[in-house]
Amino acid sequence: MRWVFLGIALLTSIVVSILGTRGTVNSRRPLMLFPDMNAQPRYDPQGSSNFFADGRVMRTPPSGTVPFGGADYECDAGSPRQNPDFLQADDAYYRGKQGSGWVSKSPVKLDIELLRRGRERYDIHCAICHGATGTGAGVMTKFGMAGVASITDDLHKLMSDGEYFNVITNGKGRMMPYAPQISVRDRWAIVAYIRALMRSQSGRPSDIPEALRGELKR
């Protein structure tokens, strides 16, 4: 019986020795019997390295480097395809600018599909503050948000398409930038839909094709 108690005491001390230190902080690397590639001999983005003089892991590409590949531009070493979303060389499309000024009209072809996409994106990202019709009466104004701009008034009608694109991209005043949430083409789609909202505020029955005017009476 004595050996049974000694065995239990020994087993208990082993368990406590192994598990009792869990959750404590130690500068020494833990013993890993099965590492499963948890510790890899590689550098991480934004990491540091004594190998380079400036201590940075990430290196600046050589001058003249042209980006290729990407999720929407599949290619291999034998047939590379340039990815314009990486290069962003087209100022009009990616920044809404032409020289030092804003482009007056969107560089994206206007069609019904673009307007439908613009309405969908507007309803998701913009209507909560600016309202479904762009008059600045979104649902957030019912919860204390004040000073939301009416983006369909006469003053905003004077803004060029490029300037609207820039506001969506980089924000303005209290409005946050939406570049991380909305793709470039979708930003242009929203601009197109905003123009449609502006036109709707001053629309007349005579603007509607004669074949569709009967829909107004329903």
Q: How far is CA 73 from CA 66, 82, 92, in A?
A: 14, 7, 21
Q: pLDDT tens for residues 17-65? A: 766 666 667 777 767 777 777 777 788 888 888 888 889 888 887 877 7
Residue pair 7/15 in contact (Cβ under 8 Å)? The answer is no
At residue 147 the predicted structure's pLDDT band, cuts being 50, 70 and 90, is confident
How far apart are alpha carbons 114 and 186 in whole angstroms? 8
Name residue 101's beta-bridge partners: 98
pTM exceeding the 0.75 threshold for the entire prediction? no
How far apart are alpha carbons 190 and 148 in whole angstroms? 18
> Domains in the chain, start-ordered, CATH in brackets?
103-204 (1.10.760.10)
First-last CA distance in the chain: 95
Q: pLDDT tens for residues 158-213? A: 999 999 999 999 999 888 999 989 999 999 999 999 999 998 877 777 777 777 77
> What's the residue count for the chain?
218
How far apart are alpha carbons 191 and 148 in whole angstroms? 18
Question: Which among 147, 122, 124 is positioned nearest to 136, based on CA atoms?
Answer: 147
Q: Is 176 buried (19+), middle (13-18) or exposed (0-12) by CB count in 10 A?
A: exposed
| Residue 127 exposure: Cα atoms within 13 Å on the Cβ side | 11
**Taking residues 122-146, what's their average pLDDT?**
89
